Amino acid sequence: MPDVRARYLLFAIAFLVAVAGCGGDNEGGSTTEATTAATTTPSGANVRLSEQSWATYETELAKAQKVNQAAVKTFAKCRQLLARNVASEQVQQCFGTTTLDVVSQGQQFLTTLEGFEDMVGGACEKALTDYSGLVKLYIASVNGLTSGDQPSPSAVQVDQASGALVRARAAGQAFQAACKP
Task: State which residues form the domain around 6.
Answer: 2-40
User: DSSP string spanning the chain?
Assistant: -HHHHHHHHHHHHHHHHHHHHHH---TTS-HHHHHHHHHHS-TT--BPPPHHHHHHHHHHHHHHHHHHHHHHHHHHHHHHHHHTT--HHHHHHHHTTHHHHHHHHHHHHHHHHHTTGGG-BHHHHHHHHHHHHHHHHHHHHHHTTS-SSSSS--HHHHHHHHHHHHHHHHHHHHHHHHH--
Predicted confidence at residue 47, as pLDDT, reads 97
**What does the pLDDT look like over 140-158, one tens digit per residue?**
999 998 876 667 888 999 9
Residue 66 and residue 11 in one domain: no
Model pTM? Answer: 0.73
Residue 93 and residue 139 in one domain: yes
Residue 65 and residue 32 in one domain: no
Band of the pLDDT at 43, cuts 50, 70, 90? low
pLDDT surpassing 90 at residue 78? yes
Predicted confidence at residue 148, as pLDDT, reads 64
Residue 116 and residue 165 in one domain: yes
Q: How many domains does the chain have?
A: 2
Average pLDDT over residues 117-128: 97
Residue 85 and residue 27 in one domain: no
The whole-angstrom separation of Cα 145 and Cα 156 is 10
**What does the pLDDT look like over 1-35, one tens digit per residue?**
444 343 333 333 333 333 333 333 443 443 333 33
pLDDT surpassing 70 at residue 57? yes
Predicted confidence at residue 129, as pLDDT, reads 98
Residue 142 and residue 175 in one domain: yes
Q: Is residue 147 part of a domain?
A: yes
